[in-house]
Amino acid sequence: MPKNPPENTPRVTPYLFYEDVAAALRWLADAFGLRESLRIDGPDGKVAHAEMRLADGVVMMGCPGRQYRNPRHVGHVTQSLHVYVDDVDAHFARAKAAGARILALPEDQFYGDRRYGAEDLEGHQWFFAQHVRDVSDEELKAHRP
C-alpha cells in the first residue's frame, strides 16, 4: 500500500499560481533560497507544475487558469506564507539583494519570532521568521487585540 502522504511530503502544502512558472523557479531560488525538486513541462513547453523545497517544507506551483488566479489577477493578496529559516537576518539580506519588495523589516515579535515580510515577483506575500524565544500561552493571551 502506498504511503500517504508520499515520502518527504508534508500533509499541508501550499499551491501558488504564477504566470511564468520558470521565472518564478529561478527567482524563488535566488531571492528566498528555495530549491527546485520537481518540474513537469506541458505540451507547449512551459512549466505546467513544479515543486520547490526549503528544509522540510514544500511549495507547489503552476499556471493560473479560469478557476485559479494569482494576486496580480485579483488585485489583492488572499493569503500569505509563513516560513521558518535558520538566520532570518541573513535571509532578509539575500531577499533584498535579489530585488524582493520588502513589506516589513526584520523585527522581534511579541510571540517569540524575529520576522520580516517580502513580496515575490508576482505579488505573493511571504513572511520569514526565526524563533528566538519561547513565550508562554499566558503571555500570548495577554497580547490579544
Question: What single string gives the DSSP state of each residue in 20-37?
Answer: SHHHHHHHHHHHH--EEE
| Residue 76 reports pLDDT greater than 80 | no
Q: Give the pLDDT confidence of 79-117 residue by residue, as tens digits.
A: 899 999 999 999 999 999 999 999 999 999 999 999 999
Burial of 40-79, coded b for 16+ CB within 10 Å and e otherwise, reads eeeeeeebeebbbebeeebbebbbbeeeeebbeeeeeeee
The dotted CATH code for 15-66+77-142 is 3.10.180.10
